[in-house]
Amino acid sequence: MKRKERLSESAYIQGVLSGDRVVLSRAITLVESTLPADQELAEAVVSGILSHTGNSIRIGITGVPGVGKSTFIETFGKIVVDKGLKLAVLAIDPSSQKTGGSILGDKTRMETLAADKRAYIRPSPTGSTLGGVSARTREAMLLCEAAGFDVIFIETVGVGQSEIAVRGMVDFFLLLMLAGAGDELQGIKKGIIEICDALVINKADGDNLPMAKRAQREYANALHLFPIRESGWLPKVKICSAVEKTGLVEIWEMISEYRDLTKANGFYDANRAEQRGNWMHEHIGYLLKNQFYQDSLIQEKLKKNLPAVKSGALSAIAIAKELVELFMEGKAKK
């Protein structure tokens, strides 16, 4: 199948700024491309829209499989758009480590929200990125902001380090949980509690409601044992039912309360500034890694030594050091 021709830099920028969703989707596809020519164009496009970004509230949403993330996002998303706000959902889909393919089924699972013209849903594959977050989620988020979206949800696959990665790019981090899934306080890692701004117990309906209320009390008591955060915000525990559409308005009010508090005390802007600095450092690592593996001398030496490393005949650490030294020597000669 023939690939669509790329637009010009100005066409991408103007299309995104005008809110053209077709161009927005093509711009996100551009920033997700690993082709060197596309990456260069993508950098120019992102730089061109940068002054029009930063006006949305960025909300990370995670939770284990089965917690009902898609149903929650669809129902909660309707609450958001009904308040007159434009919503973009960046749903990170798990990719196969063997084939690189991904499910990309979020539009199917959020049919009602996907059909709403006030919402935009973009599934993105994780690829080989550590932590279950698309390598280009930040750029996609900036493009959505430039296109005029007021609220951005970033849904993660909820595995491994994805929570840490998303925490570093959002304003508010929400962890969806279930009651009655075992010992409540042992069921999640301390590290996740430390980075989330709210614990939301979903499926609090029917026979699950008493368990959800009990879990809410237990989590709330546990959160009081943690030190006060730099943001000045004490994480809250809420219960809701995405199916019965209860407790969702209260969650939005909580997020608004958080935004008002952190904007007033200066943390909101300081956190955004820190995230931009971290993004720069991460991108430096990404660029260096790409240059390293694209180097012909490195490719040749890797091909020659990798079988011996795999068999145990050569030290992985020693060969890694040799490869880096070879790369640095090559750069020095140029």
Q: Looking at the domain that runs over 1-52, which CATH code has it been given?
A: 1.20.5.170
Q: Residue 52 gets which letter from DSSP?
A: G
- Give yes or no on whether 1-52 and 54-265 have one common fold: no
Tell me if 232 sits within 8 A of 192, measured CB to CB: no
Extract the tokens encoding 102.
């991904």
Extract the tokens encoding 221.
């008591």
User: For every one of its 334 residues, what pLDDT tens digit does the chain have, with 9 covering 90 and above?
Assistant: 455 789 999 999 999 999 999 999 999 999 988 888 898 999 999 999 999 999 999 999 988 778 889 899 999 999 999 999 999 999 876 543 333 433 444 555 688 898 999 999 998 765 544 433 455 889 999 999 999 999 999 988 765 566 777 888 999 999 998 886 544 444 455 667 778 899 999 999 999 999 999 989 988 888 888 888 899 999 999 999 999 999 999 999 999 999 999 999 999 999 999 999 998 998 888 889 989 999 999 999 999 999 999 999 999 999 999 999 999 998 877 7
pTM: 0.87
Extract the tokens encoding 227.
């030190």
Say which CATH class 54-265 falls into.
alpha beta
Helical residues (DSSP H) of 199-266, grouped into ranges: 208-223, 248-265
Kindly list the domain boundaries of the chain, sorted by start residue: 1-52, 54-265, 295-333
